[in-house]
């Protein structure tokens, strides 16, 4: 996961515009949640993962494929950050008929990552 794109506005747009593959979107979220893969033991290290995630997901979930994991991700966004895609990026959403669950889940991941940047803004200066 060391080849992840930088966590910045351009990356969020690339997620929304499907310029970044689903696996990388998942890896970005996993990294921010604290999941680290140990290639020596071939296991996930969850020491940095908050208990509410670690207890339910001992291995990082596929946020693009799993509705329950995406619902949990949505609920973990602070209420003041729920509309960041619209407020910060001017994202108007997808057009009706041009999106499905996959795009919706990618938008959720993008919004969660944008919220992560907002909450941890001191790390990104």
Residue 124 has a pLDDT of 59
Q: Is the pLDDT of residue 1 over 60?
A: no
Three-state secondary-structure class, residue 38: strand
- Farthest-apart Cα atoms in the chain, separation: 46
List, for residues 40-55, the tens digit of each pLDDT value: 999 999 999 999 999 9
Residue 3 has a pLDDT of 86
C-alpha span between 2 and 77 (Å, rounded): 25
For the chain, list the domains and their CATH numbers: 9-124 (1.10.418.90)
Neighbours of 71 (CB within 10 A): 12
Q: Is the pLDDT of residue 125 over 60?
A: no
Q: What is the dihedral of CA 48, 53, 57, 62, to 10 degrees?
A: -100
List, for residues 53-93, the tens digit of each pLDDT value: 999 999 999 999 999 999 999 999 999 999 999 989 888 77
List, for residues 92-115, the tens digit of each pLDDT value: 776 666 777 888 999 999 999 999
Residue whose entry in the numeric block shows the structure tokens 């604290």: 34
Residue 19 has a pLDDT of 96
List, for residues 7-17, the tens digit of each pLDDT value: 999 999 999 99
Residue 101 has a pLDDT of 85
């Amino acid at each position: 996961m060391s080849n992840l794109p930088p966590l910045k506005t351009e990356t969020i747009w690339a997620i929304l515009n499907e310029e970044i593959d689903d696996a990388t979107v998942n890896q970005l979220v996993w990294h921010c949640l604290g999941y680290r893969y140990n290639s020596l033991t071939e296991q996930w290290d969850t020491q940095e993962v908050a208990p509410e995630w670690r207890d339910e997901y001992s291995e990082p979930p596929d946020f693009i494929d799993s509705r329950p994991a995406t619902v949990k991700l949505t609920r973990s966004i602070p209420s003041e950050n729920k509309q960041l895609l619209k407020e910060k990026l001017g994202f108007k959403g997808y057009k009706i008929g041009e999106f499905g669950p996959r795009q919706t889940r990618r938008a959720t991941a993008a919004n969660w990552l944008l919220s992560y940047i907002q909450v941890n803004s001191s790390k990104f200066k």
